[in-house]
Amino acid sequence: MNDAQIMLLKEKSKGKEGKMELKPMNMSDLIEKHSIDEIESGLVYLFVQSNELRVLRNELVLDKIKRATEGVCEDLLRFLELNKESISLKNIERVFELIIEEKERKINGAFYTPTSVVDYIVETTITKDGLVCDPACGSGAFLVSATERLHKLTNKPLTEILENRIYGCDISKRSVERTKLILSLLALLNKEDKEEIKFNLIVRDSLKANWELEFPEVFGIQDTSTIITRSPKFGFDFVIGNPPYVRIQNLDVKTRQVIKKRWLSAYKYNVDLYIPFIELSLKLIKKEGRVSFIVSKSFFDSEAGKTIREILRKNRYIEKILDFNYHQVFNDVITYTAIITLDKQPKDTFEYYKIYQPKEMQELSEIKFRKEKYEDLPEDKIVINGHRDNQNLSKIAQQPIRLGDLYPVKIGVATLSDDLYLLNNGRDERYLHKTYSGQDYFIEKSITRPILLANKIKSKKVKILYDRIIFPYRLKGDRYSVLEEALLKERYPSAYQYLKAIKPELMKRDKGQERVKEYGSWYAYGRVQGYNARGEKLVCPTMMPEPRFELINDEALFIAGYCYLTKKDGKWLIKVLNSNVFWYYITKQAKKIRNEFWVVNKKILEGFKMPVFTEKEKTFLKSESNQSKINDFLIKKYGLLI
């Protein structure tokens, strides 16, 4: 397209008042109608025209402009109008991220990082002239911002900065090409029209690449044929970015093996790839260098994050943590994140801040961090509590009884097809009713058990509702085992008829035919868990906004939660678990999501410590209904300041 054509297009797309008259087009329409290459070319053409750039020499941009067509430009104008967006560099980055193929997104774990987060990381990390690297550069958002930052700090030409200061790597060839394209457009905006910019951008798997060989000048290597251990004075000054959110299990076997062998943080556990990227970043920076990544917070306390936590804590690499708490940074994926800043300087403290108010998300540069001592971190975690909280948690940890040792914690049953097994309680003493595929079935009540859906536990004021569940097991000794099919058919013919009807769906669960061998029968539950949790139980859901425990009897099962096997101590123990002392412990150990729920797990529940209670104290707990009095008693018993 030429200038005359674009002007004609603009006139065609406007009405008398200058508003778009063409039918709006969304992203899915665009992708369905045009190839990704066509969309890229159209975006570049519109950007050049709208900014009145005169491209005379840059071959990369010229090639894209030549490929632009009137049809795709027209549709892109509709899309931008629909989303009330201008044809800016930032919006081109956003559209590039939106048109990543789903297969590639799964492999690369690429998600669009908001501009505010990109700029915050760049401005607070890059404080002087130096070499900058993004080892998972995607479409170049961090490198664009870094280039602008270095230009502001040094006033050097952008092309000089791009050729001598900016480095990047990505596993996706298309992403690297997009980064080159966007950086070229950035240079053109600054009236720098170089025929070919010599970028330091490579298409590699960063975790498998030989960085010294790729960039010998950065690491002070004169002869790449005889690479030896490099000096700590060489490396990048700044490593920044948003490393990929990909589980190592999603990679092919060979790649998994290489990563596990090469990276200590991935050797023992099934990690998300951002974890070895943290380890990589520390190898890439020089002794005085800095790293700043936005990453998932899961490694703060997960088993998979154990090794990287040890590396960061042992070497005291953490300089600063900005914890986004339960606020969602990414629109594309639900994950709880933090910005971590790392360096190799010796230190006893690091800076920390946790965001609570939504408005703080828009004022990141105004945040005032506080100092935290490394010695105050709880054992094997990166969880920040503060001095008084650490004193209280220490007093809880010093109590003699670990709850999980005395009262085993069990997980609920898992059928993998709950809707097929769960039944509504009926008035008939012999049969329960079930409708499946338009046909009515009657299930013998004697093959069912009462079941509590733990997520129905709302509060002590709400009556807890039980349903029934088909239970094709019988007690052998002290454990349940699945009923033999012949015995099931003989004793429970109606239930067997129903189970036969749903067999095709049951066989789709998990591993299909293989699971029959593992679990003993096609009608067995999907997991061997929960149904052997015999005896009195204190049950809670996996997510709670407050303590929500319910005492259930010996026969009942539960689903979607955890329980303590209470050995007939449930009537006084429930008062402890529903107290503010126990909840204080939970809020300092568990994760909060959606500004409402705390997520508990087996390890947290097992780890709560209790003092020894006398029989008189147990009697008091059983009989006292005033929760405030119970709370006061327990706070004094533990010696806490809450």
105 in the same domain as 80: no
pLDDT of residue 325: 85
Distance from C-alpha of 156 to C-alpha of 119, rounded to nearest angstrom:
20
Residue where one domain finishes, among candidates 518, 533, 568: 568
In a domain, residue 285? The reply is yes
In a domain, residue 633? The reply is no
CA-based nearest residue to 421, from 441, 439, 448: 448
* 3-12 vs 36-50: helix crossing angle, rounded to 10: 90
pTM score > 0.85 for this model?
no
What's the CATH number where 227 sits? Answer: 3.40.50.150
429 in the same domain as 513: yes
Distance from C-alpha of 313 to C-alpha of 317, rounded to nearest angstrom:
7
Task: Tell me if 182 sits within 8 A of 147, measured CB to CB.
Answer: no
* 141-154 vs 115-125: helix crossing angle, rounded to 10: 40
Domain total of the chain: 3
Q: Cα dist. 598→547, 577, 584, 592, 604 in Å?
A: 10, 15, 11, 4, 12
In a domain, residue 608? The reply is no
Task: Tell me if 188 sits within 8 A of 226, measured CB to CB.
Answer: no
CA neighbours within 13 Å on the CB side: how many for 407?
A: 25
Residue where one domain finishes, among candidates 346, 369, 384: 384
Residue with tokens 């990166």: 382
Residue with tokens 């990381």: 121
Q: Cα 590–572–458 angle (5° rounding)?
A: 50
In a domain, residue 546? The reply is yes
Residue with tokens 């090469």: 262
In a domain, residue 126? The reply is yes
Structure tokens at 563: 């329980």
Task: Tell me if 531 sits within 8 A of 557, measured CB to CB.
Answer: yes
In a domain, residue 75? The reply is yes
Could you report the average pLDDT of every consecutive run of 10 residues in the chain (642 residues)?
Answer: 48 43 66 90 92 89 92 87 80 80 54 88 97 95 97 97 98 94 96 96 96 93 68 92 90 93 93 96 96 94 92 96 87 82 94 89 91 84 76 90 94 90 81 91 92 75 69 88 92 95 87 58 85 87 89 83 91 94 90 81 93 95 93 93 80
105 in the same domain as 66: no
472 in the same domain as 338: no
Distance from C-alpha of 563 to C-alpha of 535, rounded to nearest angstrom:
11
Instruction: Tell how far CA 473 is from the center of its chain.
Output: 38
Q: Cα 105–111–114 angle (5° rounding)?
A: 165
Cβ burial 439-469 (10 Å sphere, 16+ → b, else e) = eebbbbbebbbbbbbbebbeebeeeeebbbb
Burial grade of 215 (CB within 10 A; 0-12, 13-18, 19 or more): buried
167 in the same domain as 190: yes
183 in the same domain as 77: no
Q: What is the largest CA-CA distance in the chain?
A: 93
422 in the same domain as 294: no
In a domain, residue 613? The reply is no
187 in the same domain as 307: yes
Q: Cα dist. 493→487, 499, 524, 551 in Å?
A: 9, 10, 17, 33
Distance from C-alpha of 166 to C-alpha of 160, rounded to nearest angstrom:
9
283 in the same domain as 415: no
108 in the same domain as 9: no
Q: Cα 579–452–479 angle (5° rounding)?
A: 105
Distance from C-alpha of 128 to C-alpha of 150, rounded to nearest angstrom:
7
104 in the same domain as 83: no
In a domain, residue 132? The reply is yes
Residues 6+ apart with CB under 8 A from 427: none
Give residue 433's domain range. Answer: 409-568
CA-based nearest residue to 591, from 245, 297, 273, 350: 297
Residue where one domain finishes, among candidates 34, 57, 87: 87
Task: Tell me if 280 sits within 8 A of 342, measured CB to CB.
Answer: no
Instruction: Tell how far CA 232 is from the center of its chain.
Output: 33
Task: Report the DSSP beta bridge partners of residue 371.
Answer: 351
User: Does residue 623 come out as left (phi exceeding 0), alpha (psi in the -120 to 50 range) or beta?
Assistant: alpha
CA-based nearest residue to 501, from 493, 510, 490: 493
Distance from C-alpha of 95 to C-alpha of 72, rounded to nearest angstrom:
14
Residue type, 271: V
277 in the same domain as 151: yes
CA-based nearest residue to 132, from 115, 114, 108, 151: 151
Distance from C-alpha of 631 to C-alpha of 43, rounded to nearest angstrom:
63
